[in-house]
Amino acid sequence: MILIENYWDQLADVKDELASRGWFPGTSGNLSIKVDENPRRFLVTASGIDKTKRTEEDFILVDQQGQPVYQTELRVSAETSLHCQVYEQTDAGCCLHIHTVDNNVISELYAEQGYITFRNQELIKAFGIWDQDGEITLPIIENHANMELLTQAFAQAISAESYGVLIRNHGITVWGKDAFTAKKHLEAFEFLCSYELKLRQFA
């Protein structure tokens, strides 16, 4: 038997931790956690809510098309289709999206290149990459206002080895096999973005 409450609590805990870092400015950001694969169902944040508050209406159970499983007055996150793509194309169990100044500035600086590759950093090991010359690449896509176009570009950028996609002047979407791993990947990408920006100030 699947205990949705268990997944709900895991996602609520992650949300609280990210909120305590100020990673949901202006109601931005959205989170999801998979509760079942056959058929695929996941909890996703309701749209437009204050993600720094913990309430009983924070998450909505949706199917693989991102449609609510039960009748609700709440709206699912405007970016639910991106979460659907992550679960469709990877074996992720959790997907996190945040807007920070650091990830936005990195997205602008590297937009023309279309990606940023991080190397020579101990924290790359957070992605399970243990080689001496290990590196991780984060693709960067344009921020289309049209969700169909954004979802298309996002789907093309997803790869099993990247664990995240950066949307230009918008934010980062990161995933992992479970809530713990997704948060670890998110923290690592944020660290790497911040490091890169600081280094550029001196280089």
Residues in contact with ligand MRU by CB under 6 A are 26-30, 45, 47-48, 77-79, 97
* R_g of the chain computed on alpha carbons: 16
Residue type, 108: E
Is 99 assigned a ligand-binding role in the annotation? yes
Minimum distance, C-beta of residue 80 to ligand MRU, in the bound complex (Å): 8
Closest residue to Zn ion in the complex (CB)? 171
- Other C-beta atoms lying within 10 Å of the C-beta of residue 99: 17
Cβ closest to Zn ion, residue 107 vs residue 162: 107
> Which of ligand MRU, Zn ion, none lies near 143, with the C-beta cut-off 5 to 8 A by kind?
none
Minimum distance, C-beta of residue 137 to ligand MRU, in the bound complex (Å): 23
User: What residues contact 94, with CB distance under 8 A and at least 6 apart?
Assistant: 10, 11, 14, 31, 32, 33, 34, 175, 176, 177, 178, 179, 181, 182, 183
Judged on CB neighbours under 10 Å (0-12, 13-18, 19+), 29 is: buried
> Which of ligand MRU, Zn ion, none lies near 26, with the C-beta cut-off 5 to 8 A by kind?
ligand MRU
Minimum distance, C-beta of residue 91 to Zn ion, in the bound complex (Å): 23
Minimum distance, C-beta of residue 62 to Zn ion, in the bound complex (Å): 17
> Measured between alpha carbons, how far is 31 from 43 in angstroms, rounded to an integer?
8
> Measured between alpha carbons, how far is 73 from 115 in angstroms, rounded to an integer?
39
Minimum distance, C-beta of residue 124 to ligand MRU, in the bound complex (Å): 26
Cβ closest to Zn ion, residue 47 vs residue 121: 47
> Which of ligand MRU, Zn ion, none lies near 128, with the C-beta cut-off 5 to 8 A by kind?
none
Is 97 assigned a ligand-binding role in the annotation? yes
Q: Which residues bind Zn ion (CB under 5 A)?
A: 171
Cβ closest to ligand MRU, residue 27 vs residue 72: 27
Spell out the alpha helix ranges (H) of the chain: 4-20, 80-89, 101-109, 147-157, 179-202
> Which of ligand MRU, Zn ion, none lies near 104, with the C-beta cut-off 5 to 8 A by kind?
none
Nearest to 88 by CA among 116, 65, 117, 105: 65
Where is the binding site for Zn(2+), in residues?
Answer: 97, 99
